[in-house]
Amino acid sequence: MHLHLAYPAVLAVLLFCVGLYGVLARRNAILVLMSVELMLNAVNLNLVAFDVWLRDSLHSGQALTLFTIAIAAAEIGIGLAIVLAVYRNRGSSAVDDLRDTAEHPDDDPGDGDTGAAADTDAEATPAQKAEATA
């Protein structure tokens, strides 16, 4: 029986494209992790298909697939732990909200300034300006 390599390759490309779209377009961190898993499964499908097509006696494609599955399991465990920690602190698992947690290079935690006096009127939002004048 001869394996046509085109069928699993086309399926892998479709899976990878759906996963890539999910990573680029989704805002929920759980859906982004699921999309990364789709991309890894597309790679696994290619590894196994090429292993069968080349008739490798060592089955190196299948062995590499097992390592990829193990790494994907560790990645999803750590990723879910991070998402749960962010959800507990922020109340949302949106990826856009994670940009607020990044430290800025001009922030110096040891300068003794709380940051409230350092804000200028140009950086303050209209709500902050109304609150400061009240």
pLDDT bracket for residue 40 (50, 70, 90): very high
pLDDT of residue 42: 97
Residue 37 domain flag: yes
| HSE-CB for 134 with a 13 A CA cutoff | 6
Residue 67 domain flag: yes
Residue 125 domain flag: no
CA nearest neighbour of 64 among 50, 44, 39: 44
Is 81 a residue whose pLDDT tops 90? yes
Residue 98 domain flag: no
What is the residue range of 42's domain? 29-91
CA nearest neighbour of 95 among 33, 32, 26, 27: 27
The domain tally of the chain equals 1
Residue 69 domain flag: yes
Q: What is the average pLDDT score of the chain?
A: 83
What tokens appear for 84 in the block?
């749960």
Residue 66 domain flag: yes
Q: Burial of 68 by CB count in 10 Å (0-12 exposed, 13-18 middle, 19+ buried)?
A: middle
pTM of the model: 0.69
Residues 6+ apart with CB under 8 A from 59: 51
